[in-house]
Structure 1
Amino acid sequence: MRILFLTSGREVPSSRFRVLQYVPYLEQRGHHCVVAPSKPPKYRGWPWLGNRLSELPRAGARTLDLLRAAWSRFDVVVVERELFSSGITFFEKQFRRIAPTLVLDVDDGVFLSAPQKFQELATLSNTVVAGNRLIAAYSEKQNPRTVVIPTSLDLSRYEYQPPTHRVDRPIVLGWTGTAGNYPQLGLITDALRQLPADRDYELRIIAEREPPAELTSLDNIKVRFQPWNAEREIEDLRAFDIGLMPLPDDEWARYKCGLKVLQYLALGIPAIASPVGVNSEILTHDQNGLLADSTAAWIDAIERLADDIDLRRKLATAGRTTVEATYSVEKNVTLWEEVLNSAAAT
């Protein structure tokens, strides 16, 4: 098949993990794939123009993509999330008119802020691909042709390394994400401040922008910021001894796809996460990770892993097995191929 992927941006997490990882695998199977990222990236825009005014150059770029799609006669057009963060659905409708098949991929609760827009896009599509079962349950109300393909990792890049016991440096507690999600990390600052002073801890933060002062002034813990870099991402994550994924128990967080946890598990980093949404499906407490729902639970979980290297190794081994079984690109590319073939047949 000839497949056109319309994505949010080259370095936007949803584009990298929902689309770009799969392209080489689909091409190995004989499909011709073209990726057309938003220009400038969706949700951010050009700093000197602002996100709202950046919709104008985005529209210009999508017009060129539309002309290319009309000329090239793609079999399937895949829209990652939505083409514009505003209420515009004009371009999706135009792509639907010229493409035999339209597939919508959703990995977040984008419908919470714009339910009418999502309804339009879902009903417009031959198939909706949902990143988890909660998103699928919502989508099925608009389009019964909804399929779950979980957010996955290319394990050829994520080499597993079991935890090691090193007494010559602090226990590194790690968090990675976009700067817009810093409030999530802020949920556990009380727990971090209450960790015993006789244990040497470091909080390592990886994001595209420096964290606010409330995350860097923890008194008893050294905090180190590591600017996110696509080429160093996996190497930087390997510095974590324990991976953290706190989430608020709210509607938006419940639709998250657990990417942080999956990255930790794939690399052999034992994870602690809030039991919110898909986190409780990925992690089974005390089997392949730890779940914490209060300040006391976070303190206990961190101290247990810091003190018990055998527990860290046990959780790391089971965590990697979880990713291999359910959340690998190598496994789920077959699901993508089946979805694209099925959608094209409808």
Structure 2
Amino acid sequence: MADRLMDPDAPPGAPAPAMTILWVLLGRRDKASSRVRGYWVAEALKARGHSVQIRHTEHRLQYLSLLAAARQADAVIFQKKYGRYDLLAARLLRLLGKTVLFDIDDAPSRTQATATLQRANRMMALSCGVLAGSQALARLARQHQRAVHLLPSGILPANYRVKSHKPGKRLCLGWIGNGAHYADDLIRILQKPLQLTGARRPVTFRIVGACGVPELYRAFGSIEGVEIDFIDQIQWSDPGAVADAIAPFDIGLYPLLPHPFNEYKCAFKALEYMASGLPVVASRVGANTETVIDAQTGFLCQSADDWVQAIDTLAGDAELRSRFGANGRKRAGTHYDVARLAARLEDILRA
């Protein structure tokens, strides 16, 4: 990539020239992966002096304007885009000598659909390199591409208000995300621990993004000692709305069932909790094990007993919640700040 992005005639010690980067995103700002791995990183790269254009290819004709715009670009990044027209566009861009990167932060197919997996594999193979959001995704990508770069999903710490943990109040256990996608994980993992927790002390269980899923209301609405506080939707693209939704949490919960799709998740929920100064109680699945430091920023759980013990330990100790939350906030800023990841991507493009 370096020969296309560096000026060979620049004198030694001269600052590296600014790059023009074209980003083809899967969704708009209200889609979490595009907001986090596209818009946020693009804005950080702009702050570093680069020119970044964002494109959406929701219609076939938009691929023509994409190819026209790409003529002036040094690099083109496809964020989780691997449909047949994406493959064709990437192929043409490679023929034109462009640096093409494929960014992925999820398993290519939730249902293991053969055609979808094949397209994703082809996109990895024909790109100049793959940006993988987790170690598991990096291992997957290396089956099809030699140039694989670990680039975890990042966080904007300034978007989150740090929790002040105080003893003697009703504890709020919180979860944020797409309840329609995670209802099975929430119910199968948390229903029994919350029943046992509610029998010991009154708690509030707050779900942000319940999406009106009736199974969630039925599963948790009648647990003795547990008051539910479910919010079906918020304005996801508004950082203030997200911070307001998380603010009542005392402990951030991240249950994931151990199945193939979840093994490739990139632990963004855990990062949001950590940036908010919250201890995290999470399943020992996927990138959770890379992001959450057990007994330092939270607890990693496998069994229902693990969940009960973790919640009980944190519920009775505001000082411990505060210490874990501070450790998590520091870790999120040190390792997952979007500004640092943008610098990492800049190095990848210049390498």
TM-score (norm 2): 0.85
Q: Count how many residue pairs are aligned between Structure 1 and Structure 2.
A: 319
Residue aligned with 1:299, SS: helix
Matched, 1:184 2:185: yes
The answer for the alignment partner of 1:133 in structure 2 is: 135
The answer for the alignment partner of 2:80 in structure 1 is: 81
Runs (4+) of structure 1 moved beyond 4 Å? none
Q: Structure 2, unaligned stretches of length 5 or more? A: 1-18
Among all aligned residue pairs of Structure 1 and Structure 2, give the percentage whose two residues are the same amino acid.
26
Question: Is the contact between residue 8 and residue 83 of structure 1 (CA under 8 Å) also seen in structure 2?
Answer: no
The answer for the alignment partner of 1:44 in structure 2 is: none
With 88-97 and 236-245 compared, the bigger mean Cα shift is at 88-97
Distance 1:124 1:300 in 2: 48
With 111-120 and 97-106 compared, the bigger mean Cα shift is at 111-120
Q: Which of residues 290, 302, 315 is equivalent to 1:293?
A: 302
The answer for the alignment partner of 2:103 in structure 1 is: 105
- Cα shift at 1:166: 5.2
Q: Which of residues 198, 215, 222 is equivalent to 1:218?
A: 222
Q: Structure 1, unaligned stretches of length 5 or more? A: 40-57
Matched, 1:265 2:286: no
- Cα shift at 1:268: 0.5
- Cα shift at 1:197: 3.3
Given the superposition, is the C-alpha separation of residues 132 and 198 from structure 1 closer, same or farther in structure 2, using an over 3 Å criterion? closer
Matched, 1:246 2:245: no
Question: Is the contact between residue 18 and residue 152 of structure 1 (CA under 8 Å) also seen in structure 2?
Answer: yes
Residue aligned with 2:60, SS: helix
Distance 1:6 1:93 in 2: 15
Deviations for 1:188-217, whole angstroms, at most 9, x for unmatched residues? 112212223352211111117223233442
The answer for the alignment partner of 1:320 in structure 2 is: 329
Distance 2:117 2:331 in 1: 33
Distance 1:246 1:195 in 2: 16
The residue correspondences of 1:163-182 to structure 2 (distance < 5 A) are 163-165=165-167, 167=169, 170-178=170-178, 179-182=180-183
- Cα shift at 1:301: 1.2
The answer for the alignment partner of 2:26 in structure 1 is: 8
Distance 2:272 2:262 in 1: 18
Distance 2:90 2:24 in 1: 10
TM-score (norm 1): 0.86
Question: Is the contact between residue 202 and residue 222 of structure 1 (CA under 8 Å) also seen in structure 2?
Answer: yes
Deviations for 1:276-322, whole angstroms, at most 9, x for unmatched residues? 11111212221111111111111111111111111111111111122
The answer for the alignment partner of 1:19 in structure 2 is: 38
Distance 1:328 1:181 in 2: 26
Given the superposition, is the C-alpha separation of residues 13 and 148 from structure 1 closer, same or farther in structure 2, using an over 3 Å criterion? same
TM-align CA RMSD:
2.1
